[in-house]
Every structure is written in C-alpha cells, then in structure tokens.
Amino acid sequence: MTLEARKLVAGYGDKSILEEVSFTLEDGEILAFFGHNGAGKSTTLKAVIGLIETRGGEILLDGERIDQLPIGQRLERGLRLLPERRGVFPDLSVEESIDVVAQRNCSRDGCKITRSDVYDLLPVLRERRKVIAGEMSGGQQQMLAFALALLGSPRCILLEEPSVGLQPDLVEELFAKIREICGRLSISAILIEHKIASAMKIANHVIIINSGRLVFSGPKTEAEKINLWNYF
Amino acid sequence: MLYLQLFVDGVVSGCAIGLVSISFSYFYSVTGTFHVAHAGIYTLCGYVAWALVAAGAPFIAALMLAVLAGALSGYATQHVLYQRLADRQASPLVMMIASIGLLTVLQNIVAIVFSPNIVQFDMPWRVGHLDIAGVTLSHPQALIALVSIVIFVGLTVFSARTDLGKRIRAIASNAELAEITRLDPKRVFAYVLAISSAIVAVPAVLVGVDQAMQPYTSLIVLLTAVVAMIAGGIGSLPGAFGMSIVLAVIQSLSVALIPGRWSIAAVFGIFILFILLKPEGLFRRRFSRAL
C-alpha cells in the first residue's frame, strides 16, 4: 500500500496550518514525522484520516484519491489513527473495548487481525483483560490503544505522539512492538513523535515540517547525517 | 401506619420517576444533550395510550403502542433535530434551547389533538387495590413498582452485557475514538434516544392510569428526575434510580410534617444541598462526562 500526500493544504476556521505538504509512504514503511509544537503534524494526520477537510492538494491511497471520501470509507480502506492520549475507552474493561471494536471491524470476511491475534501480539492485554482501561498505567493504555487501532484489516496506522506520558523504558518497549508488528504484518505507519532518538530507531524515512511547510524529507540514513535540530 | 403508607407511596412514585431519570441519564451521558423534550415525549406517550383505550383498545395493546410511539418519536428527534444541529456545530446551550422548543411544541400538539383538560383512563380495574400488611396499594401502583424494577434491571443488563449496550458505553466514554473505530456514534445516538423514549413511555402511561394526566405537568416530573440523576451521579443508572426513590420518599413523607405544597420545595432544597456539598453526586462513574 502506498499513501501519498501531494501539496496538502488544511487548517481550522479561517486559518490554514499546512502549506502544500507532500510526502510518500511505501508499503510496510515507518515514516517519522517531526516538527515543533503547532507546526501542523496533528493537522496532517487529521486531514489524512478525514477528521478535518482538506483545502487543497490530494491524498492518494494506492493511486486512488481519498481526500473527498468520508472518514468511514477511509477506515474501510485500512487507514487507522491512534489519537494522542485519547486512544482508549476509559470506562470499559480491556476485554469489552476489544470486543466492541472487533465486532465492528472484524465482521466482514478477510479480517487480517482478529481479537485473539491482538491478545497474542500484545500479551499484556490478556493478563489485564478484566481491568478498566482508565485504571491502567499509561504504558498499558497505549498498548490497548495500539490494539484497538490494529483490529480489522489495517494497512496504514497514523500514530499521534504514542510516547506521551510514558517512562523511557516503556517508550522503547512500545516502539519495539510497533516495529515488530508493522514489519511482520506489512502495515505502514506515520509516527509523530517528540522523542526523536527513539523514533529514529524504528523509522525508514523522515520528514520535518516547520510552520506548516515541509523542510526536510529523506531516508533515515540521510536524516542521521544532518543535524535535525537545525530544521526546527 | 400513616408513615408506612406514605413511605410505600413514595417508593412507588420513586420507581416511576426512576424510569424517567435513568432514561434521561442514559441519553445525556452518551450524547451530552440536555434533552428537556423528554418531558414532551412522556406527555405524548401517555396521551397516545389514553386515546387508544378510549377508542376501545385493550390496555396492554395501548401500552405497547405508546412504547412504540415513544421509540419512533425519540429516533426522529435525534435524527431530524439534534443530529442536524450537531452537524452544524451547535453548542450545548443551543441544543437545550431547541429541546425546550420541542417540548413546547409537543405539549401543545397533545393539547390540540387530544385534550387540554385533565383526563383519566376509563378502566374499572384502575381503582381496585391490594391490602398488604395494612398498606394499601392500588393496582396501577403495584404494576408501576413491578414493571419499573424489571425495566431498570433490564436496562442495566442490556448496558453491561449486550453488544449494543457495550458499544453505547464505549461511545459515551470516548466519542471521538468511537468515530475512528467505526462504532458509528451518529446512528447509535438515535438508537439511544429511541430506547430512552420507549422506556419513558412506560411510567407516562402507568402514572397516567394511577392518577390522571394533563399536557403541561410533565416538566416537574422531569425536574425531579434530573435532580435524582445529578444527586445519584451522572452516568450511574443505579444512582439515578435509587436517588429517585429516596427523593420521592422524602417528598411523600414530608407531607406528614409540612404542608403538601411544600413537598416539591423539600426535593429542591435537597438538590441545593447536594450541589453545594457533593456536586459530583453519590455514585459518579470515575471517568464519565460531567454537567
């Protein structure tokens, strides 16, 4: 699956945040997406998934334009979003959350990741299945949020600051899981992240935006040679 | 003995208010819409059953059709009114004003189509009564107590155990995530208002049978129900149902101590105490939305 944004323009109210941002994400790749606060990273992901309308440019999934499709149809084509800090249903138990989402996303035939698959991929959830999501630690909540994003047939997951609020060793653990699962199931991902060193470890490609403009785009090997901070 | 009788009367009317309260609370905690027009649907359903009985329908059929009328009008209200306003980013205040408008329209439709006067069901069994250990219960009162408990337990089990019940709780818990995990919150909101409105039809009809009906009196029932919801903790069905009974018992017992016209003031006095001392309610869920 290839996700491509061409000269994307988007924003809120009268204000445009993104100015002609373009990037390409190939099958199974992880794209690390950096930029200062308010640069437009979350806006980009919201535009891709369809939570906000685009004002210009195109978004293509395997060559098909999806920027005019309603959010439900983009989800059906395999796009997923793991929203920052709000990726779980805090009042439901782990098991209920997985059941509810699986029921709506795995009912059709050809479901790639079923509820038993997510328990196998993220065993901590099996141990905690009766626990109310809002009572779990931040790391476990992110594991659950990742599981909810995986259910069904995801092809590209948009990860919005998954490390927020996690202690450093858990960040490494979560990122290792993301790398492993995405690699094994050939799911691509866009990763918005402040923890640049951790994100670089699992990325294939890096883009940086500054005040809504793309200032760097290149493979990880190239990104490692430059001083990324010059672009912030 | 007087106190026991007043206590039992209070429990029974508390059961009826409890159904209004849990149905209001269910919709409110899922959508955040302060659905004042719930009182209008209450009135409408009561009169639908009354008109059907007056036209010769058996009571049970009239009750069932009133429940159906409630479900349909609830579904339509969400679909035609609230969802369209929400699509235009209406604030909660705008939603509530629209709801007050709908309440007025429904009450006046009832007054025009049916009757603006006090009406009573023309059924001989409604005046019959049971005597249990010196306490008198009218047949409709016994029915109210029984049916209310069944519906309360039914809704609690539905919410905890069924797929749709869990999906509704997920949407109440995090509507944005529900949207991006394809739980289809917009459609479910309409289901929830249909369920709530079907439930509220039951106390509307049974209280109408027990006492009498007027088009413009349902708002005070809803207010008591809302007080119970807040005191019991928003999002907690047992809290709302239990507090409805507590408030109705206090209202009923207060008649023995203070003049009857002050009984509603007693309820609102308790409400003010709650808002001052324990605004989160007695049994608030940990992560739910607040007023």
- Whether A112 is covered by a domain: the verdict is no
Length of chain B: 291
Interstrand relation of A30-35 and A188-192 (parallel, antiparallel or unpaired): parallel
Q: How far off is chain A from B134, nearest CA to CA, in Å? A: 45
The residue range of the domain holding A33 is: 1-78+155-165+188-232
For residue B186, being part of any structural domain is answered with yes
3-state SS, residue B58: coil
**ipTM of the complex in this document:** 0.88
pLDDT of A165 reads: 78
The answer to whether A145 touches A94, Cβ cutoff 8 Å, is no
Judged by a CB distance cut-off of 8 A, whether residue A95 touches chain B is no
A52 in any annotated domain: yes
Whether residues B179 and A87 touch (CB distance < 8 A) is answered with no
Q: Answer whether B183 touches A (CB < 8 Å).
A: yes
- B210 near B138, Cβ under 8 Å? yes
Provide the strand spans (E) within B92-188: 129-132, 135-138
Residue B247 within any structural domain of the chain: yes
Predicted local confidence at residue B59, as pLDDT:
95
Does position B72 have pLDDT exceeding 80, yes or no?
Answer: yes
Determine the pLDDT at residue B285. 54
Rounded Cα gap, residues A40 and A20, in angstroms: 11
What pLDDT digit, counting tens, does each position of B20-34 carry? 999 999 999 999 999
CB within 8 Å: A104 and B174: no
For residue B141, the model assigns a pLDDT of 95
Q: What is the CATH number of the domain that holds A24?
A: 3.40.50.300
| Cα A118 from Cα A120, distance rounded (Å) | 5
| B291 pLDDT more than 50 | no
The contacts of residue A5 (CB under 8 Å, 6+ apart) are: A21, A22, A23, A24, A44, A48, A57, A58, A59, A60
Contact B180 A51 (CB under 8 A): yes
Q: Is residue B92 one of the residues assigned to a domain?
A: yes
Looking at residue A112, its pLDDT comes to 86
Give the three-state DSSP class for A23: strand
Contact of A96 with A74, CB cutoff 8 Å: no
| Number of domains within chain A | 1
User: Is residue B24 in some structural domain?
Assistant: yes
Q: For position B25, what pLDDT does the model report?
A: 95
Total domains, chain B? 1
In this structure, which long-range contacts are made by residues B89-97, counting pairs with CB atoms below 8 Å and at least 24 apart in sequence?
B92/B32, B92/B33, B92/B34, B95/B33, B95/B34, B96/B33, B96/B34, B96/B36
pLDDT tens readout for residues B275-285: 788 777 666 55
Mean pLDDT for all residues in chain B: 91
Q: What is the pLDDT of residues B14-70, one digit of tens each?
A: 999 999 999 999 999 999 999 999 999 999 999 999 999 999 999 999 999 999 999
Q: With a cut of 90, say whether residue B234 has pLDDT above it.
A: no
> Quick check: is A177 in a domain?
no
Q: Do B180 and A81 touch (CB under 8 A)?
A: yes
Given this model, what pLDDT does residue A194 score? Answer: 87
Q: Is residue A90 part of a domain?
A: no
How high is the pLDDT of residue A220? 85
Q: Are A158 and A45 in contact (CB under 8 A)?
A: yes
pLDDT at B241 over 80: yes
Residue A108, pLDDT score: 64
Q: Cα-atom radius of gyration of chain B, to the nearest Å?
A: 19
* pLDDT at residue A109, as a whole number: 66
Q: What's the confidence (pLDDT) of residue B290?
A: 35
- Examine residue A208 and state whether it is found in any structural domain, yes or no: yes
Please calculate the CA angle B54-B56-B59 and round it to the nearest 5 degrees. 85
- Nearest Cα of chain B lies from the Cα of A104 at a distance, in angstroms, of 6
Residue B124 lies in a domain: no
* Pairing status of strand A156-160 against strand A3-12: unpaired
Within a domain: B144 = yes
pLDDT for position B289: 46
Q: Does A74 contact chain B (CB < 8 Å)? A: no
A-B C-beta contacts closer than 8 Å: 76
pLDDT grade for B8, boundaries at 50, 70 and 90: very high
Would residue A124 count as lying in a domain?
A: no
CA separation for the pair A198, B201 (Å, rounded): 58
**What confidence tens digit (pLDDT) does each residue in A117-132 have?**
999 988 999 999 999 9
Alpha helices in chain A (DSSP H): 41-49, 71-76, 94-105, 115-121, 123-127, 138-150, 168-184, 196-202, 220-225
* C-alpha span between B29 and A226 (Å, rounded): 51
Instruction: Kindly report the CATH number assigned to the domain that includes residue B36.
Output: 1.10.3470
Say if A101 falls within a structural domain.
Answer: no
In this structure, is residue A62 part of a structural domain? yes
B219 to chain A nearest CA, in Å? Answer: 31
Mean per-residue pLDDT for B138-149? Answer: 95
Query: Residue B231 — very low, low, confident or very high, per pLDDT cuts 50/70/90?
Result: confident
Write down the pLDDT at residue B79: 95
For residue B183, the chain A residue with the least C-alpha distance is: A104
CB contact under 8 A, B184 and A104: yes
* Enclosing domain of residue B180: 2-118+133-277
Asked if A91 lies within 8 A of B287 by C-beta distance, the reply is yes
**What is the mean pLDDT of the segment spanning B219-246?**
91
Is residue B127 situated within a structural domain? no
What pairing do the DSSP bridges indicate for beta strands A30-35 and A54-61? unpaired
Residue B64 lies in a domain: yes
Residues in Cβ contact with A133 at an 8 Å cutoff, skipping those fewer than 6 apart: A88, A89, A90, A91, A92, A93, A94, A97, A141, A144
B198 pLDDT higher than 90: yes
Where chain A has pLDDT below 50, the residues are none
Contact of A93 with chain B, judged by CB distance below 8 Å, is answered with: no
Q: B135 and B4 in contact (C-beta within 8 Å)? A: yes
Chain A nearest-CA distance from B275, in A, is: 24
User: Does the distance separating the beta carbons of A75 and B180 come in below 8 Å?
Assistant: yes
